[in-house]
Amino acid sequence: MSKIRLALIGVGDMGTGHAMGFDQIEQCEITWVADPSKSNLERALPYIKKNQPKIVSDYKDILGQTDTFDAVVISVPNYMHREVALAFLERGKHVFLEKPVAPTLADCDAILEAAHKAKVILQIGLVYRYSNLYRRMEKELSGGRLDDVTMMWCKEFRDPFPPVDWFYDSTKSGGALVEKDCHHFDIFNWMIGAKPVRVFASGGQHVIKDGQNNWITNSYTHYPAKHITSTNIVDHAWVTIDYENGSKANLGLCMYLKPRNLMDEGLEIGLIGSNGAQMVAKQDRTIDISGGPDMTKEHIDTDVVSDTYSGGHTGSQKQRYEFLDSVRTGKEPFASGEVGRQALLVALAAEKSIKEERYVYLDEIK
């Protein structure tokens, strides 16, 4: 079977990870890399060891070469998602698009409509859906371990976004809850398995404040630390989501830890079931299940190696394999465009709730 030929559009932090990961997969060939940043290219290209792609600074230079690639992997800033994705979807190319789908619902819907019209694969980079750990959690739920999920929570306490201006401009990123927590809202939607109905959120700026000289450092980025003075995104929030079946979920966000989250639990995502049992995931590594009818306790150390590559994000390599499989077979991705849209709706409602200081119903979001 011939290899699936890929064009990588954007090789910043996320795009470099994709360059590393897809380079290791025999079923594909990287034929193009596009990025306007010389420093991004200089950093990413050494990780591409098994392929010999052509390099361009502008993705538009590839649009006339559609016979040289089958699919694109788009890792550009959020505000560019619509422009770049539509350019390739309208040419009938399969698309892996980093999360969130877009910073606005209008942009999101334009992307989904274009993918539907072109009858191609659109997979969103909601990487947790491909994680061994979170798939194991869902397996426990499907087996009835908690009966119905009645409550969920997520503690997303971390260091700031990378020191790049667009992250701190909500008109470009969509806001902190759109850019970062679409991941976690998707986990809520997935595990609860019901329609989110309304959101109440409270948030603001505690430390990284607009108009002051904020020295921004980040533990995982390759971009150098710098001062950012203009920011209109929140650096903390509490978000409560009500679901159609009566379940509720709560997310706590803090974006100013130094140097990063050093607590033993790290990222913590928990569930409580109608049978009184609890299940808690910590550090994207372990699951603890306790209580319920048999009043037992179980600790599960999950496989954190096979779904990733070279220490990348949990689920990151498995999502690449499954994207290629969808391209080859036509199977709808587990992280489909509609899945991404549902997570975006919750995030947009949370951003609106903070601004307007009220409950926001998801059917208000247009």
Between CA 77 and CA 99 the distance in angstroms is 10
Cross-strand pairs, 9: 34, 74
Confidence check: pLDDT of 68 > 80 = yes
Mean pLDDT over residues 58-67, rounded? 97
Dihedral in degrees, nearest 10, Cα atoms 54, 17, 73, 332: 140
Of the pLDDT bands very low, low, confident and very high (cuts 50, 70, 90), residue 295 is confident
Spatial separation of the C-alpha atoms in residues 203 and 234, rounded to whole Å? 6
pLDDT of residue 311: 85
Q: How far apart (Å, rounded) are the C-alpha atoms in residues 193 and 142?
A: 11
Mean pLDDT across 8-18: 97
Query: What is the CA angle 48-51-56, rounded to 5?
Result: 75
Q: Return the sign of the alpha-carbon dihedral for residues 151, 247, 332, 336.
A: negative
The residue type found at 197 is V
Place of tokens 């989110």: 196
Please tell me if the domain spanning 4-127 has the same topology as the one spanning 129-309+335-364: no
List the structure tokens of 19.
């360059």
Q: What is the pLDDT of residue 17?
A: 97
pLDDT the model gives residue 310: 87
Give pLDDT, residue 20.
Answer: 97
325: pLDDT strictly greater than 90: yes
pTM (2 d.p.)? 0.97
Mean pLDDT of all residues in the chain? 97
Arithmetic mean of pLDDT, 312-331: 97
- For 146-163, the pLDDT digits (tens) are 999 999 999 999 999 999
CA dihedral of 26, 31, 37, 39, whole degrees rounded to 10: 50
Q: What percent of the chain has pLDDT over 70?
A: 100
Can you give the pLDDT at residue 345?
Answer: 98
**Residues 190-203 pLDDT 10s:** 999 999 999 999 99
**How, if at all, do strands 286-291 and 277-282 pair?**
antiparallel
- Residues 109-131 have a mean pLDDT of 98
The mean pLDDT of 73-95, rounded to a whole number, is 98
Mean pLDDT of the region 5-13? 97
Q: What confidence tier does 1 reach under pLDDT thresholds 50, 70, 90?
A: low
* pLDDT confidence band for 108 (50 / 70 / 90): very high
Q: What's the pLDDT tens digit per position in 197-224? A: 999 999 999 999 999 999 999 999 989 9
Tokens of 343: 């997570």
Predicted confidence at residue 343, as pLDDT, reads 98
> Can you give the three-state secondary structure of the chain, one letter per residue?
CCCEEEEEECCCHHHHHHHHHHHCCCCEEEEEEECCCHHHHHHHHHHCCCCCCEEECCHHHCCCCHHHCCEEEECCCHHHHHHHHHHHHCCCCEEEECCCCCCCHHHHHHHHHHHHHHCCCEEECCHHHHCHHHHHHHHHHHCCCCCCEEEEEEEEECCCCCCCHHHHCHHHHCCHHHHCCHHHHHHHHHHHCCCEEEEEEEEECCCCCCCCCEEECCCCCCCCCEEECCCCCCCEEEEEEEECCCCEEEEEEECCCCCCCCCCCCCEEEEEECCCEEEEEECCCEEEEEECCCCEEEEEECCCCCCCCCCCCCCHHHHHHHHHHHHHHCCCCCCEHHHHHHHHHHHHHHHHHHHHCCCEEHHHCC
Mean pLDDT of all residues in 217-241: 96
For the chain, domain boundaries: 4-127, 129-309+335-364
At the second CATH level, the architecture of 129-309+335-364 is 2-Layer Sandwich (3.30)
Tokens of 216: 């921004």
Burial class (CB within 10 angstroms; exposed 0-12, middle 13-18, buried 19+) of 145: middle
Contact 96, 317 (CB under 8 A): no
Superfamily of domain 4-127, CATH level 4: NAD(P)-binding Rossmann-like Domain (3.40.50.720)
